[in-house]
Amino acid sequence: MSEMGYLTGEIMDQELLIIELLSAAEPIYKRVQKNRRKNLVAAFLFLVVACVLFFGIGSFVYQRLEMRVRSFDTGYWLRGFYHFSLVLGMISVAAVVIFFIVNGIQGIRLRRSFQRFLERAVKKAAKYPVVYQDRDAYYLAEEARKPKIRLLKTDCIELTTTFDGATIYLGIRQEFRGFSGTQLFVLNGEPPVFPVNLPKAHEFNSKWSLMLISLVFAGAVGVFVYDGMTRQQNLYDGNSEPAHSTPSSEAAPLTSDELLAQQGAAPDMKANQTNQLDLNQQTQELYLTTNGGTNWSFVPLKPEWLRSGSYLLTSGEIPMGYWMDKTYSISKEFSWFIYSENQKELFFLFSTDNGKTWQKSLVSDTAQRIRYRKAQFFADGSGVLVYSSASPEVSSEGLEIFQTNDHGKTWHRNNGTTIGQPVQNVSFVNPTLGFVSTRENLYYTNNSGGSFKEAVVTIPADYQTGGLDLFQSPNEVTQVSTNQLETKFYLLKMSGIDQGKMFACLYRSSDNGEMWQFAEQLSEVKPTE
């Protein structure tokens, strides 16, 4: 937005006109400086509004809505709008910064050489020789019947009269909401009346509006193209065709041709626990025992299949030989494993005869970029399996929820949502009531994951509230009576002789997990735990 506008009316000798304008230097200078200050105030207000709207409100709305989405598609669209809001905010900040810089340079030039400033303005002005008017405004044009600039008469001041009787005016043209520029023009008598068939007044001075709309459109296209490509890569792993989620096939006994063949010898050792999984470091084979190591059975899985995707907890990567809690279970009646052979299809492998025979069922054929994964089973044979899908761009994760009613023989996708931070633990009390924790928040669902709400956790004053560990795995939420839930939260002590130590604290809820109250401090938690 230039400090001065363009000369209009009969084209005159430019040097003579500059001399005429120098006699009115003071009112011109004051008017230009006043308009500059007005533009700077408008730019500052625009910056404040843009930051509040695009960064503040945009982030607030995103954080409020991200837990309510029920699918990856909705989550990616929400993330796209959030990124679009950030892009608009950055464009707005950049535009205001550039505007301040340009205005500063123009102010310096104006103070150093007012005459040179006039020379540039007059030279640019010569292309608007035609003037029209109506009751409220003057209209400047390059050629007849094609006005380009609209100036309200109330904003125009008379500067001086030339030797040949022409009057020089200085007006204000509105270029964008709240922003304006000064405009010189010359009248040789009364200008003709504004023709009725010309464009309406609000269509004038629109170049900055069109430029802003173009930037917004370009930003929107860029964000959604980028987000769409990210979504394509995350969901389809680079394939042009989407991998559709299909109901899992019913599990059937696997033949020897479908199982991995045992290569090494079974362990010959006693186990630390009755039911235990062991990794043979030499052959990289898995074995299980359900009688403390008296007998071992080969598990037809490669260790890397159990570690498919990113094998990270919020505290760091799990070393080889250790496994995420609830990603497998060992018992005589029901041993099972969650795994993926190809970083895409997620399977459930199980045995009901102490590892003699095995069956597998398909959970999902679109399980890319999985990180957290877990399954829980209940007395009636129903169960819940969840996994989170990490995004390489942001900390939020997609959470997919599957259910079974026949001990894992068949699975169906129940719901999905987006979690604003990496998932730390998921704990279902029953197929309907479940909890999802991050390192800072606890969420609950009472409709099998159809929607999630943030739970209220009361933190005592002498414990740390930031970055707290909420029912760190393997702790679970348990139902101890008809209307009471219990769990352990890991909290950091902030005062007293135990300052800086982590403790397991017992919490209770009597409203199905909506609010949690501190009950008592339990044992200290060592870092190795």
pLDDT at position 340: 93
Residues 404 and 436 reside in one and the same domain: no
Q: Residue 363: what pLDDT?
A: 94
Within this chain, do residues 192 and 62 fall inside the same structural domain, yes or no? yes
Radius of gyration, CA atoms only, the chain:
36
Structure tokens at 321: 């030989």
Domain span at 442: 424-529
How many Å apart are CA 124 and CA 111, to the nearest integer? 20
The pTM (predicted TM-score) of the whole model is: 0.57
Same domain, 375 and 318: yes
**Quick one: 298 and 312 in the same domain?**
yes
Same domain, 85 and 34: yes
- Residues 255 and 198 reside in one and the same domain: no
Q: Going residue by residue through the chain (529 aa), what tens digit of pLDDT does each one get?
A: 444 433 444 445 677 777 778 878 888 888 888 888 888 888 888 888 888 887 877 677 666 665 555 444 555 566 667 777 788 888 888 888 888 888 888 888 777 878 777 877 777 777 778 888 888 888 888 887 788 888 898 999 898 887 778 888 888 888 776 788 888 888 888 888 876 655 544 445 555 555 555 555 555 555 445 544 444 444 334 443 433 344 555 676 776 677 888 888 888 899 888 999 999 888 899 999 999 989 999 999 999 999 888 887 766 777 877 888 899 999 999 999 999 998 889 999 999 998 899 999 999 988 888 889 999 999 888 999 999 988 766 677 889 999 999 999 999 998 888 888 888 899 999 999 999 988 888 999 998 888 888 899 999 988 886 666 778 777 899 999 888 999 999 888 888 888 888 888 999 999 999 999 999 999 988 766 5
CA distance 189 to 307: 87
pLDDT at site 301: 93
Instruction: Give the Cβ contact number of residue 37 at 10 Å.
Output: 12
Q: Is 219 domain-assigned?
A: no
- Please check whether residue 275 lies inside any domain of the structure: yes
The two counts, helices (H) then strands (E), for the chain are 7, 29
- Give the helix ranges, DSSP H, for 363-489: none
The last residue of one of the domains, among 369, 404, 423, is 423
Query: Which residue blocks in 410-497 are alpha helix, DSSP H?
Result: none
Cis amide linkage into residue 474, ω under 30° from 0: yes
423, 446, 478 - which closes a domain: 423
Instruction: Classify residue 231: in a domain, yes or no.
Output: no
Last residue of a domain, one of 388, 423, 458: 423
Number of domains composing the chain: 3
pLDDT confidence of residue 3: 41
Domain identity same for 297 and 394: yes
Backbone angles phi, psi at 18, to 5 degrees: -65, -40
Task: Note whether 160 and 277 are same-domain residues.
Answer: no
- Contact assessment for residue 467 and residue 459, using Cβ atoms and an 8 Å cutoff: no
Residue 224 belongs to a domain: no
Which of 321, 275, 324 shows the shortest CA–CA distance to 297? 275
Answer yes or no: do 248 and 353 share one domain: yes
Is residue 30 one of the residues assigned to a domain? yes
pLDDT per position as a tens digit, 102-118 = 888 888 877 787 877 78
Domain annotation covers residue 218: no
Q: In terms of domains, do 419 and 430 share one?
A: no
Residue 221, in any domain of the structure: no
Give the pairing of strands 137-141 and 312-313.
Answer: unpaired
419 lies in the same domain as 446: no
Same structural domain for residues 365 and 275? yes
Kindly list the strands in the beta sheet with 285-289, ordered across the sheet, starting from the edge strand earlier in the chain: 276-280, 285-289, 297-299
